[in-house]
Chains A and B, each alone.
Chain A
Amino acid sequence: DAKTTQPPSMDCAEGRAANLPCNHSTISGNEYVYWYRQIHSQGPQYIIHGLKNNETNEMASLIITEDRKSSTLILPHATLRDTAVYYCIVRVAMVTNAGKSTFGDGTTLTVKP
């Protein structure tokens, strides 16, 4: 699995867009980019994933650079409830090795009033 690099922490003002970067310069062609977040004392929550095209859902947008070596998770209007640790994971998963995603240190996002 490709290694990912994320800043350890970021702040964002409530109501503004939060842009969380992730570097995955060694990503291979069949690896997907997944984003999760974990609010204190809860299980991780899936946010979004993509292969090479930009993706959007009701929670966030995922922008993947053309060379796929980095990506940005965008929370368009951050709220205090978005304060959490955000994990970027790069994986190609076959069924026999599923679930072995490495949730590293992630980025602690603090949304401030």
Chain B
Amino acid sequence: DVKVTQSSRYLVKRTGEKVFLECVQDMDHENMFWYRQDPGLGLRLIYFSYDVKMKEKGDIPEGYSVSREKKERFSLILESASTNQTSMYLCASSLAGPATNEKLFFGSGTQLSVL
């Protein structure tokens, strides 16, 4: 089974801090994604990457950046955390291909609270 591991289940940070969320997948997937999930707003794509060192903006990239130096690792960076970035963050990966691009495997999520 594909395993997508997120570094922290719960995280509490202060406003203005730089925050790193790490995600590692063990199935050699080309595609990796970062989402946030908020009540009433569903799942929203922040950034995705379809190859090492490649990144594409999703629907809500403002205030975030990403890094993909190795195929298995995709990091989400909050440059200066703000209270409106309090959310559940979900990482996902998928195998490249017309049917499998959207066959997403998710991590357990990181609940980030910015105080």
Contacts and interface: CB of A to CB of B under 8 A. Distances in A.
Contacts of B4: 43
B98 A93 contact: yes
Q: Looking at chain A's contact residues, is the secondary structure mostly helix, strand, loop, or mixed?
A: loop
Contact of B45 (A46, A99, A104): A99
A99 B98 contact: no
A49 B19 CA distance: 35
B96 A95 contact: yes
A104 B37 CA distance: 11
A24 interface: no
Interface in B51-93: 56, 58-59, 90, 92
Interface residues of A, number: 27
B32 to A, nearest CB: 9
A96 B98 contact: no
Contacts, number: 74
B45 A100 contact: yes
A13 B96 CA distance: 38
Given A95-B96, A98-B48, A46 B101 contact: no
A94 B98 CA distance: 6
A103 B43 contact: yes
B108 interface: yes
B109 A43 contact: yes
Nearest to A36: B104
B50 A96 contact: yes
A80 interface: no
Contacts of B56: 96
Given A34-B102, A42-B109, A98 B50 contact: yes
Given A45-B106, A99-B104, 8 more contacts: A36-B104, A42-B109, A91-B102, A95-B30, A98-B33, A98-B94, A101-B43, A102-B42
